[in-house]
């Protein structure tokens, strides 16, 4: 690290990816800082820099070995840091930059006094992770499937038998037990991860409730879509429309394929149609309506939001917001593990909630390739009006912005 790079880091100050520490810090305190970076997006600890940004330098003997041993013995699972030296251009004092990349094996814990403690970083502070934050860390690493958790108080009767029967017979072209055969239904739904065991009894799993629940919002407040339409380009108290879209994800169809009851995707597209204005033109003798946004792109974006959002975040719905110049669909939660916007644009395949992906694919909402952003959303908008969608990844949400 050059002196100029060191000064630039220090001038920017401590934040969610940078921490200043003296070199006489105890090893368990250094491990605490590094664990918080590992459980977020990675970061740098500058050893030899005071809290106020003054370069005091390092004096500890064999500092690199001490840092490496701390990362091996005080962090679980162990990690290997990237170490680089820099000198203060005015004082000549040396600083050791300890760089940690985002950990692929979340959550990471600090080991101290025979106790494991999981830390997260919030701005320039470090605190112990809550139970909900721990669940999200485990889910991000793939070590916990939140969709398999039992829904408290939800049994077989909380699921819609009409939708379940249609799924197993017409959609997946199999068979279903008679509804009165409770034991056979519970065995079947356990086998496909729509139900799970809770204290020796069968309970609806989160994924089962999201897909086939009679009243998902009653059990899972985060299961709906908040739909808003504003007259201008910014949020306003005078919204033209403000609705909560609730119900199971999948629709109920008649034998001829017509809708008996629509699912969340159809509800959302209906909201878009009611709150946008098509233009019309004649193609020969046919009148063609051209919507402000292509239906295929809206559907693909909505399905992605529904199947890939982080359902362990219980205080937030997916939001669908229409402005005068754009439409935004926002999913609560960070992108999982090592997924980035660049990888999504390139066509990476990932599934935070595999059961949701599988069943929505069975209904034809998703294709087997799993590259909807690259193959449908981006080319669909380019063909429609020559614009590319904005994909915005933030700490607690992921937004797809489509331009009118």
Q: Please spell the DSSP secondary structure of 60-123, one letter per residue.
A: -TTHHHHHHHHHHHSEES----EEEEEE-TTT--EEEEEEEEPPTTPPPEEEETTEEE-EEEET
326 lies in a domain?
yes
90 and 157 both lie in a single domain: no
355 lies in a domain?
yes
87 and 168 both lie in a single domain: no
139 lies in a domain?
no
From 96, 129, 162, give the residue that closes a domain: 129
Residue 92's pLDDT is 66
**Residue 81 and residue 79: Cα distance in Å, rounded?**
6
**Nearest partner of 320 among 278, 381, 275, judged by Cα:** 275
**Residue 55 and residue 332: Cα distance in Å, rounded?**
40
Using alpha carbons only, what angle is made at residue 267 by residues 266 and 271, rounded to the nearest 5 degrees? 115
- What's the structural domain count of the chain? 3
Residue 88's pLDDT is 62
Residue 144's pLDDT is 67
Q: Note down pLDDT in tens along the chain; length 404 residues.
A: 888 888 899 999 999 999 999 999 999 999 999 999 998 888 999 999 999 999 999 989 999 999 999 999 999 999 999 999 987 655 668 999 999 987 777 889 999 998 999 999 988 899 999 887 887 777 666 666 889 889 988 999 999 999 999 999 999 989 999 988 999 999 999 999 999 988 788 999 999 999 999 999 999 999 999 999 999 999 988 899 999 999 999 999 998 889 999 999 999 999 999 999 888 777 777 887 788 999 999 999 999 999 999 998 888 899 999 999 999 999 998 887 678 899 999 888 878 888 999 999 999 998 766 688 999 999 999 999 999 999 999 988 999 999 99
Residue 97 burial (C-beta neighbours within 10 Å; 0-12, 13-18, 19+): buried
302 and 399 both lie in a single domain: yes
297 and 319 both lie in a single domain: yes
Task: Specify the long-range contacts of residues 256-261, CB closer than 8 Å, at least 24 apart.
Answer: 260/162
Task: Specify the long-range contacts of residues 112-117, CB closer than 8 Å, at least 24 apart.
Answer: 112/28, 112/31, 112/74, 116/76, 117/32, 117/35
116 and 35 both lie in a single domain: yes
238 and 329 both lie in a single domain: yes
Q: Indicate the SS3 state at residue 297.
A: helix
φ, ψ at 18 (rounded to 5°): -145, 135
CA distances from 203 to 228, 341, 346 (A): 34, 36, 39
Question: Which spans in 215-291 are helix H?
Answer: 216-219, 264-274
Sign of CA dihedral 161, 162, 167, 173: positive
Range of the domain at 69: 3-129
- Number of neighbouring beta carbons within 10 Å of residue 31: 24
Name the DSSP letter for residue 275: T
250 and 389 both lie in a single domain: yes
CATH number of the domain within which 32 lies: 3.30.950.30
CATH number of the domain within which 257 lies: 3.30.565.60
- Number of neighbouring beta carbons within 10 Å of residue 385: 13
Residue 206's pLDDT is 94
352 lies in a domain?
yes
φ, ψ at 181 (rounded to 5°): -85, 80
276 lies in a domain?
yes
Residue 102 burial (C-beta neighbours within 10 Å; 0-12, 13-18, 19+): middle
Residue 140's pLDDT is 67
209 and 344 both lie in a single domain: no
**Residue 190 and residue 347: Cα distance in Å, rounded?**
32
Q: Which residues contact 345 (CB under 8 A, 6 or more apart)?
A: 373, 374, 378, 391
Residue 105's pLDDT is 77
135 lies in a domain?
no
Element (H, E) at 42: strand 42-47
254 and 337 both lie in a single domain: yes
203 and 252 both lie in a single domain: no
From 197, 214, 231, give the residue that closes a domain: 214
From 214, 244, 270, give the residue that closes a domain: 214
CA distances from 35 to 31, 113, 267, 294 (A): 6, 16, 43, 44
Residue 249's pLDDT is 97
168 and 92 both lie in a single domain: no
Using alpha carbons only, what angle is made at residue 311 by residues 263 and 42, rounded to the nearest 5 degrees? 140
138 lies in a domain?
no
95 lies in a domain?
yes
226 and 93 both lie in a single domain: no
């Amino acid at each position: 690290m050059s002196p100029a790079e060191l000064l630039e880091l220090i001038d920017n100050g401590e934040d969610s990816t940078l921490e200043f520490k003296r070199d006489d810090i105890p090893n368990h305190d250094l491990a605490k800082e590094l664990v918080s970076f590992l459980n977020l997006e990675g970061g740098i600890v500058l050893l030899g820099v005071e809290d106020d940004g003054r370069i005091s330098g390092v004096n500890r003997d064999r500092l690199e070995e001490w840092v490496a041993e701390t990362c091996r013995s005080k962090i679980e699972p162990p990690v290997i840091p990237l170490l680089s030296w820099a000198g203060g251009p005015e004082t000549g004092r040396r600083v050791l930059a300890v760089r940690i990349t985002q950990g692929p094996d979340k959550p990471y814990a600090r080991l101290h006094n025979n106790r494991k403690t999981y830390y997260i970083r919030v701005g320039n502070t470090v605190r112990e992770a809550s139970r909900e934050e721990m669940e999200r860390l485990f889910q991000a690493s793939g070590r916990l499937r939140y969709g398999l958790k039992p829904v408290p108080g939800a049994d077989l009767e909380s699921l819609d038998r009409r939708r379940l029967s249609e799924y197993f017979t017409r959609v997946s072209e199999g068979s279903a037990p008679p509804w009165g055969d409770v034991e056979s239904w519970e065995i079947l739904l356990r086998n496909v991860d729509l139900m799970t065991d809770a204290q020796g009894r069968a309970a609806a799993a989160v994924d089962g409730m999201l897909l086939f629940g009679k009243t998902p919002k009653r059990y899972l407040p985060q299961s709906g879509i908040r739909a808003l339409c504003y007259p201008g380009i910014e949020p306003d108290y005078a919204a033209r429309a403000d609705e909560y879209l609730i119900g199971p994800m999948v629709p109920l169809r008649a034998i001829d394929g017509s809708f008996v009851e629509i699912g969340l995707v159809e509800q959302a597209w209906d909201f878009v149609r009611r709150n946008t204005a098509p233009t019309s033109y004649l193609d020969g003798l046919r009148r063609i309506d051209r919507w402000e946004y292509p239906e295929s792109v809206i559907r693909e974006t909505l399905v992605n939001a529904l199947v890939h959002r982080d359902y362990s975040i219980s205080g937030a719905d997916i939001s669908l917001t229409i402005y005068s110049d754009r439409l935004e669909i926002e999913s609560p939660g960070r992108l999982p593990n090592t997924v980035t916007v660049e990888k999504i644009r390139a066509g990476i395949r990932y599934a935070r909630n595999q059961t949701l992906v599988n069943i929505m694919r069975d209904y034809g909402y998703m294709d087997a390739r799993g590259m909807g952003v690259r193959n449908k959303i981006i080319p669909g908008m380019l063909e429609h009006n020559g614009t590319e969608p904005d994909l915005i990844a933030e700490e607690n949400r992921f937004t797809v912005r489509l331009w009118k």
